[in-house]
Amino acid sequence: MIRTLSLCVVLLASLHQVAAAPADAEFELLAERYIGDLSRFSPVTATLIGDHSADHELDHVSAEARDAKRRLYLEYREALAALDHDDLSRAYQVDAEMLHNEIESNLWSLETLQDWAWDPLIYVDTAGTSIYSLFARDFAPLEQRVQAAASRLEQMPRFFGQARASLRPEQVPKVHAETAVQQNPGLTSIIDTMIMPIMDDLSPATRERLSAAIETARDAVAEQQTWLEEELLPRAAGNFRIGAELFDAKLAFALNSPLGRKEIKSRAESEYESVRGQMYEIAREVYAATHPYTTFPDNPDEAYKQVVIRAALEEAYRVLPPRDGIVDVAKAQLQQATDFVIEKNIVTMPDDPVEIIIMPEFQRGISVAYLDPPGPLDKGQAAFYAVAPLPEDWTDEQVHSFLREYNMLSIQDLTIHEGVPGHYLQLALSNRYPSTLRSVLWSGPMVEGWAVYAERVMIDEGYLNHDPLMRLINLKWYLRAVTNAIIDSAIHVDGMTRDEAMKLMIEGGFQEEREAAGKWTRAQLTSAQLSTYFVGYQEHIEMRRAVEAAWGEEFTLRRYHDQALSYGSPPVKFIRALMLGEDIPSSRD
């Protein structure tokens, strides 16, 4: 993509024209240009945030496209550095810091991490999302979205050709290649489930074009599948462990937090012991209710505690959802959690639409569930709480293992995390913040940490009438966040083996085999992401303690939560500074 005039020149000229304006006005101009340029960085990403100016375009992923993207980021880096950050308002200081982190992170990914060369999942996700995002929400008339989809389907051969030219099989880890082989066929399922049923509703000309585009895309996906199976997978020889240097850099960008790998590890290992101790105390309560004449030792060893905790958890595993009924269970529990939040006046309840859906096939294999919010520019559109169905080829033993992990109480915790007052509620309120830039650059640790924090709030407020089994399951889920943080760096930096990770998750974290096996795969595929839950939770807890101390008797949950969520989804350190009147943390310090 050739730009006839340097962005930086345009920006500097524009800034000169408004030299007399406050620094905020200058930054607003920069932020608006950045948002407007998202379609240049990635048309598919632009669609996701609600910018539909390039819905008909599919990302270019060639070497030339990467060079153009790199030049554009460098121009934004220069333009951002030219601003006087000290003269910005506190709100815009936060946005400027977030933009700085985003630019540096993306440049580092392009130049140093170079995941475009060894991660085929990037291309599967982009291709699938490019079509899925056009039909998941009714943001425009059907004919308009179909025309855009036809254009993107027509570009699939070019896109996959560029992807194959970019990938270096000898650098691709086998687990990435295997997962791509599994996910790639899901691209055709989008056509079958989202496009084919509406063909009769289209005009003859549109239907004719779309039919031809579908055949083009099916052929392209089939060609890609053959290449993945016959060329990439046999030659995949990369190491999925990215090592200390890359991990630390990636973690710093992902967290945008004062906490580094060594402190996270220290905190997580300490919390691991603490949470297991809390679980034992609740497990004693549960066990004594069933066996009232039991005498517990004053100083039990870890083996004794392990048996008592497992015995108590077995009580929770007595009630399992049906194999094909998890979505229906989640729907009922979402309403239950919503009613409780309103009754206890925990936080403002948004009225934005939310739907519980079966996870699209091309996105399965990494997590059991996720919350897919509408883009910040797609006002009024539904959020999707997506749940993955159980694989059809699982044995009865594997199905039973999974359902034990996702028993009826665990689905309660999952629904709190993904729905209310977790991701759905938080992101619905976040999108009300006036800064589109801040919404686009939301912080993973803030969002994931809030969801883990939301689980604890519901338990502390007595959800399910203070049921000790619910409290035990909640601690088990928090222990999952703790072990996530431990294995994240242990796998990628310290060389933790599969057996070591499985033992920690199953014996230490009381996870079922299917959950632990899935997490092992996820940890290999998503370095630095598993730490976001624990780090974000730690920051949320510390912020709340600080605000409680500052507000004293004026502190209420509703007031605190509403104000904390009123700033959008920046890193927690910025929310804390805004709430307590502290200096805005700066990358320049």
Is 334 a domain residue? Answer: no
- Per residue in 413-425, pLDDT (tens digit) is 999 999 999 999 9
Q: What is the pLDDT of residue 324?
A: 84
Whether the ω angle into residue 421 lies within 30 degrees of 0, i.e. cis, is yes
**Given its phi and psi angles, is residue 515 left (phi above 0), alpha (psi -120 to 50 degrees) or beta?**
alpha
For residue 310 the two structure tokens come to: 């497992």
- Per residue in 476-496, pLDDT (tens digit) is 999 999 999 999 999 999 999
- Per residue in 128-155, pLDDT (tens digit) is 999 999 999 999 999 999 999 999 999 9
| pLDDT higher than 50, residue 97 | yes
Angle between helices 468-492 and 261-290 (to 10 degrees): 150
- Per residue in 1-30, pLDDT (tens digit) is 333 333 343 343 333 333 334 799 999 999
Q: What is the pLDDT of residue 361?
A: 78
> 3-class DSSP state for residue 383?
strand
483 to each of 265, 268, 412, 487, how far by Cα in Å? 10, 7, 21, 6
Q: Which amino acid is at 404?
A: R
Q: Are strands 383-387 and 369-372 parallel, antiparallel or unpaired?
A: antiparallel
Q: What is the pLDDT of residue 16?
A: 37
Q: Which residue has the tokens 């338990």?
A: 459
- Per residue in 154-180, pLDDT (tens digit) is 999 999 999 999 999 999 999 999 999
Is 281 a domain residue? Answer: yes
Q: What is the pLDDT of residue 315?
A: 96
Average pLDDT value for residue range 37-42: 95
> How far, in Å, CA of 361 to CA of 386, rounded?
11
- Counting the structural domains of the chain, the total is 1
Is 115 a domain residue? Answer: no
For residue 548 the two structure tokens come to: 């409680």
Residue 112, CB-side half-sphere exposure with 13 Å CA sphere: 13
DSSP-assigned states of every residue in 293-338: T----SS--HHHHHHHHHHHHHHHTTS---TT-HHHHHHHHHHHHH
Q: Are strands 383-387 and 354-358 parallel, antiparallel or unpaired?
A: parallel
Query: Contact, 296 vs 322, CB < 8 A?
Result: no
* Beta-carbon count within 10 A of 260 CB: 12
Is 295 a domain residue? Answer: yes
Is 475 a domain residue? Answer: yes
> How far, in Å, CA of 99 to CA of 116, rounded?
22
Q: What is the pLDDT of residue 286?
A: 96
Domain membership of residue 481 as a residue range: 241-321+339-348+396-415+434-589
Q: How does residue 365 score in pLDDT terms, banded at 50, 70 and 90?
A: low
| pLDDT higher than 90, residue 258 | yes
Is 564 a domain residue? Answer: yes
Q: What is the pLDDT of residue 326?
A: 87
Is 287 a domain residue? Answer: yes
> How far, in Å, CA of 440 to CA of 215, rounded?
34
For residue 565 the two structure tokens come to: 């969520």
> How far, in Å, CA of 464 to CA of 469, rounded?
10
Q: What is the pLDDT of residue 366?
A: 59
> 3-class DSSP state for residue 59?
coil
Query: Contact, 160 vs 101, CB < 8 A?
Result: no
Is 277 a domain residue? Answer: yes
Angle between helices 174-183 and 513-525 (to 10 degrees): 110
- Per residue in 192-226, pLDDT (tens digit) is 999 999 999 999 999 999 999 999 999 999 999 99
Query: Contact, 484 vs 516, CB < 8 A?
Result: no
Query: Contact, 508 vs 500, CB < 8 A?
Result: no
Query: Contact, 255 vs 532, CB < 8 A?
Result: yes
Query: Contact, 398 vs 512, CB < 8 A?
Result: no
Contacts of residue 218, Cβ cutoff 8 Å, sequence gap at least 6: 188, 191
> 3-class DSSP state for residue 577?
helix
Backbone φ, ψ for residue 347 (5° rounding): -165, 155
Give the closest residue to 27 by CA, choosing from 73, 87, 74, 70.
87
- Per residue in 229-242, pLDDT (tens digit) is 999 999 999 999 99
Average pLDDT value for residue range 234-261: 97
Give the closest residue to 550 by CA, choosing from 153, 394, 542, 365.
542
| pLDDT higher than 70, residue 448 | yes
Q: Which amino acid is at 401?
A: S
For residue 491 the two structure tokens come to: 């796998």
| pLDDT higher than 90, residue 542 | yes
Catalogue the long-range contacts made by 256-261 (C-beta closer than 8 Å, 24 or more residues apart).
256/98, 256/101, 256/443, 256/445, 256/571, 256/573, 257/445, 257/535, 257/539, 257/571, 257/572, 257/573, 258/573, 258/585, 259/535, 259/538, 259/539, 261/489, 261/493
Q: What is the pLDDT of residue 7?
A: 38
- What DSSP designation does 526 have? S
Q: What is the pLDDT of residue 370?
A: 86
Quote the mean pLDDT of the chain. Answer: 93
- Output the furthest CA–CA distance in the chain (Å, rounded): 83
| pLDDT higher than 90, residue 380 | no
For residue 215 the two structure tokens come to: 């055949």
> How far, in Å, CA of 457 to CA of 537, rounded?
12
Q: What is the pLDDT of residue 11?
A: 41
> 3-class DSSP state for residue 175?
helix
Helix (H) or strand (E) holding 357: strand 354-358
**Residue 69 burial (CB < 10 Å; 0-12/13-18/19+)?**
buried
Q: What is the pLDDT of residue 387?
A: 86
> 3-class DSSP state for residue 238?
strand
Backbone φ, ψ for residue 77 (5° rounding): -60, -45
> How far, in Å, CA of 57 to CA of 42, rounded?
9
> 3-class DSSP state for residue 178?
helix
